[in-house]
């Protein structure tokens, strides 16, 4: 089975995904890290030097490739992955794939992203909390229609990473 974690930036896809994989004894793959390795550039550099459209094309190519694996995997995708190139349909229609939306409230996301924006090119330029709230509020409104299609939703507000892993396992098995 491939367990695909989706959700907005900083919802915990990478860090919770790693813990989940360890617990299940599955291999962990992070799509952003995979892109960085294949492209030999950081996500920020790809955005800056090649542009977002190039990033989205490569993201979709690598996602399609990774979803063909028949092995047990936890695959954490990027925050935008489900929202481009028909990627959410591919995730939903691939065999042996379970999609999980790590659902966070706007407040949780703003609070986390004010602290962790530097490596995230879409929000790195935002300075005040008011601007961040406005940006994420609008962005999330556009994206939830994709995220909500996931087969399983797990709320992450006020939970530790271990709590979230437990909740995911309860939903899956
Ligand atoms: N439940 C949690 N409790 C405390 N800290 C958390 C929790 N979930 C994530 N974090 C921390 O928040 C930060 C963002 O998490 P992470 O990088 O896993 O998010 P992401 O969904 O992979 O983001 P991106 O889409 O940008 O890749 C990390 O520093 C992580 O350690
Ligand atoms: O939400 C997004 O569109 C992104 C999230 C990150 O995971 C990276 O994939 C990149 O910074 C774009
Ligand atoms: Mg990540």
CB 14 within 8 A of CB 76: yes
* Domains: count for the chain: 1
Q: Is residue 36 included in any domain, yes or no?
A: yes
Q: Which residues contact 157 (CB under 8 A, 6 or more apart)?
A: 104, 105, 108
Atom of ligand 1 nearest to the CA of 120: 26
Binding residues for Mg(2+): 14
Using a 10 angstrom Cβ sphere, with 0-12 exposed, 13-18 middle and 19 or more buried, the burial of residue 35 is buried
CATH, residue 36: 3.40.50.300
Task: Compute the residue count for the chain.
Answer: 173
Task: For residue range 121-171, list pLDDT tens digits in order.
Answer: 899 999 999 999 999 999 999 999 999 999 999 999 999 999 999 999 999
Q: Is residue 154 included in any domain, yes or no?
A: yes
Binding residues for ATP: 10-15, 120
Q: How far, in Å, CA of 12 to CA of 102, rounded?
A: 7
pLDDT at 24: 98
**Which alpha helices (H) appear in the chain, and where do they start and end?**
13-24, 31-39, 43-45, 52-66, 87-93, 106-115, 129-147, 161-172
Rounded to two decimals, the ipTM of the complex is 0.95
Q: How far, in Å, CA of 27 to CA of 141, rounded?
A: 32
Q: How far, in Å, CA of 25 to CA of 91, rounded?
A: 22
Domain of residue 95, residue span = 2-104+148-172
Q: Is residue 135 included in any domain, yes or no?
A: no
Tally the C-alpha atoms within 13 A of residue 88's C-alpha that lie toward its C-beta: 18
For ligand 1, residues with CB inside 6 Å are 7, 9-16, 32, 76, 78-79, 112, 116, 120, 156, 159-161, 164
Nearest one of 63, 105, 110, 106 to 84, comparing CA atoms: 63
Q: Is residue 75 included in any domain, yes or no?
A: yes
Tally the C-alpha atoms within 13 A of residue 146's C-alpha that lie toward its C-beta: 22
Q: How far, in Å, CA of 152 to CA of 109, rounded?
A: 20
Which residues in the chain land under pLDDT 50?
none
Q: Is residue 110 included in any domain, yes or no?
A: no
Strand-pair partners of 154: 102
> Which residue's alpha carbon is nearest to atom 4 within ligand 1?
160
Q: Is residue 136 included in any domain, yes or no?
A: no
Q: Is residue 80 included in any domain, yes or no?
A: yes
Predicted structure pTM score: 0.96
pLDDT at 117: 87
Q: Is residue 142 included in any domain, yes or no?
A: no
């Amino acid at each position: 089975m491939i367990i695909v974690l989706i959700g907005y930036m900083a919802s915990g896809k990478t860090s919770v995904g790693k813990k989940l994989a360890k617990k299940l004894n599955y291999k962990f793959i992070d799509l952003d890290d995979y892109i960085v390795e294949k492209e030999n550039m950081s996500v920020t550099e790809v955005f800056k030097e090649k542009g977002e459209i190039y990033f989205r094309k490569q993201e979709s190519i690598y996602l399609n490739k990774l979803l063909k694996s028949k092995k047990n995997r936890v695959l954490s995708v990027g925050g935008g992955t489900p929202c481009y190139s028909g990627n959410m349909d591919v995730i939903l229609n691939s065999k042996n794939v379970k999609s999980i939306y790590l659902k966070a409230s706007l407040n949780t996301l703003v609070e986390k992203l004010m602290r962790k924006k530097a490596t995230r090119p879409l929000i790195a330029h935002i300075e005040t909390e008011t601007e961040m709230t406005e940006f994420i509020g609008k962005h999330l409104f556009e994206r939830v229609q994709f995220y909500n299609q996931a087969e399983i939703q797990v709320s992450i507000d006020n939970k530790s990473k271990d709590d979230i892993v437990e909740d995911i396992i309860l939903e899956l098995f």
